[in-house]
């Protein structure tokens, strides 16, 4: 692996620590890769503790302890403690399944600062159906435990055609459960979500209805509930600065120690992503070819290269460009100016009866799922 020398690079603000790909849920919108890391290949406790030490030295201020379901790691308190010792703010990103008062106390005693809880739908039966397992009751209980412990609670909802019409009820649920923040994240089509894209993709009218509800209620909820709407880039035709830019704000460590600019980057061929077992986090961030590959704007081709938006959206998402065209260096096809935008328009405008399509549940190992990039 060759090294890239470069001008000084600002430290990462956040570390997404994917502690495991194991998960009790089977959501079809999951952005985890199809080739999930086996439990036996996960980093050990001492290796994660060292990742946290290095992250603190590198300047990381916030870590999302995620997965899969991070509560499956029995050593989660030790990992939280290592992050806290490194001066990093810790947030648990969880389905809530497996969270007990005892476990939460063990985590808060070691320095856990906040919890983000995933919710699939505001109605119990629909939520369980989307999650592929009974989990709604455990989520409600987990929310109560988090509030009882005095920790800030955020609710995260991945939006798609099966829950977009429940957006008002989801806002009510977040208030009722004592959340301070709700993130309404329109599905990003990577990993399992890409396999299920035809089933999950909403129509424009459904998005417009949901957006109108969010806009109408956001002001009314100001000061009580922070409402974040992650744009549906397929529908809007506007590229997003994915992850705040490649190698700009955040880095991901996968369960087996692979260091990535974003969780989906594992799918990009020839990336040569480093691993914490071989290289320091500092080297990976500052010098690895993988992190330099799409950093900044020098790598861009037209139309991005001469576009006035290039510093703002950084040409969109590299993983999406790869998923749709097989070439990660092309302009993100969601952008109206992309020569490949027709691929997205065809999907969004297709008169498909999606409700009849089956969902491929996220599973370990994957069942019946195609591998590699999908041309549309
Ligand atoms: Fe952004 Fe590139 Fe589209 Fe311009 S052409 S808006 S830089 S994605
Ligand atoms: Fe990888 Fe957008 S998900 S760059």
Every domain of the chain and the residues it spans: 14-230
Q: At what angle do helices 136-148 and 124-131 cross, to 10 degrees?
A: 100
Q: Which one is predicted more confidently, 358 or 257?
A: 257
**Is-cis flag, bond preceding 303, omega within 30?**
yes
pLDDT recorded at residue 3: 65
Cα(264)–Cα(146) distance, rounded to whole angstroms?
A: 29
Does residue 136 have a pLDDT over 70? yes
pLDDT in tens, 44-95: 999 999 999 999 999 999 999 999 999 999 999 999 999 999 999 999 999 9
Could you give phi then psi for residue 222, rounded to 5 degrees? -55, 135
Query: How many residues make up the chain in this entry?
Result: 376
pLDDT in tens, 23-35: 999 999 998 888 8
Distance 322 CA to ligand 2 centre (A): 9
pLDDT in tens, 313-323: 999 999 999 99
Cα(264)–Cα(363) distance, rounded to whole angstroms?
A: 17
CATH number of 14-230: 3.20.20.70
Q: What residue spans of the chain are helical by DSSP H?
A: 45-58, 76-85, 101-109, 124-131, 136-148, 167-176, 191-195, 197-200, 204-221, 233-236, 281-287, 289-292, 310-313, 318-325, 341-349
pLDDT band at 310 (very low <50, low <70, confident <90, very high): very high
Cα(96)–Cα(147) distance, rounded to whole angstroms?
A: 13
Minimum-distance ligand to the CA of 338? 1
Nearest CA to ligand 1 atom 7: 310
Distance 288 CA to ligand 1 centre (A): 26
């Amino acid at each position: 692996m060759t090294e890239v020398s470069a001008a000084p690079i600002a430290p990462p603000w956040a570390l997404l620590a994917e502690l495991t790909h194991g998960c009790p849920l089977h959501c079809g919108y999951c952005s985890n890769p199809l080739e999930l890391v086996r439990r036996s290949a996960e980093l050990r406790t001492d290796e994660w503790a060292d990742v946290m030490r290095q992250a603190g030295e590198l300047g990381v201020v916030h870590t999302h302890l995620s997965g899969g379901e991070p509560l499956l790691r029995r050593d989660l308190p030790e990992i939280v403690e290592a992050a806290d010792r490194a001066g990093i703010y810790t947030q648990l990103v969880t389905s809530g399944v497996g969270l007990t008062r005892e476990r939460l106390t063990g985590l808060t005693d070691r320095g856990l600062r906040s919890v983000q809880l995933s919710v699939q739908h505001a109605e119990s039966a629909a939520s369980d159906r989307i999650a592929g397992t009974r989990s709604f009751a455990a989520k409600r209980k987990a929310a109560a435990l988090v509030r009882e412990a005095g920790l800030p609670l955020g609710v995260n909802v991945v939006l798609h055609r099966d829950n977009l019409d429940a957006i008002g009820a989801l806002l009510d649920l977040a208030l009722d459960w004592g959340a301070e923040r709700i993130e309404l994240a329109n599905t990003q089509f990577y990993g399992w979500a890409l396999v299920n894209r035809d089933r999950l993709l909403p129509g424009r009218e459904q998005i417009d209805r949901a957006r109108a509800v969010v806009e109408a209620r956001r002001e009314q909820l100001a000061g009580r509930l922070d409402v974040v709407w992650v744009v549906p880039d397929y529908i809007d035709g506007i590229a997003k600065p994915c992850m705040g830019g490649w190698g700009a704000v955040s880095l991901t460590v996968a369960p087996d120690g692979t260091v990535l600019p974003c969780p989906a980057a594992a799918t990009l061929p020839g990336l040569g992503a480093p691993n914490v077992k071989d290289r320091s986090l500092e080297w990976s961030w500052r010098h690895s070819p993988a992190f330099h590959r799409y950093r900044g704007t020098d790598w861009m081709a037209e139309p991005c290269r001469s576009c006035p938006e290039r510093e703002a959206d950084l040409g969109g998402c590299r993983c999406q460009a790869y998923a749709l065209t097989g070439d990660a260096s092309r302009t993100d096809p969601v952008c109206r100016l992309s020569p490949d935008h027709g691929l997205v328009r065809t999907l969004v405008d297709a008169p498909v009866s999606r409700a009849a399509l089956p969902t491929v549940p996220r599973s370990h190992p994957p069942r019946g799922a195609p591998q590699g990039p999908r041309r549309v």
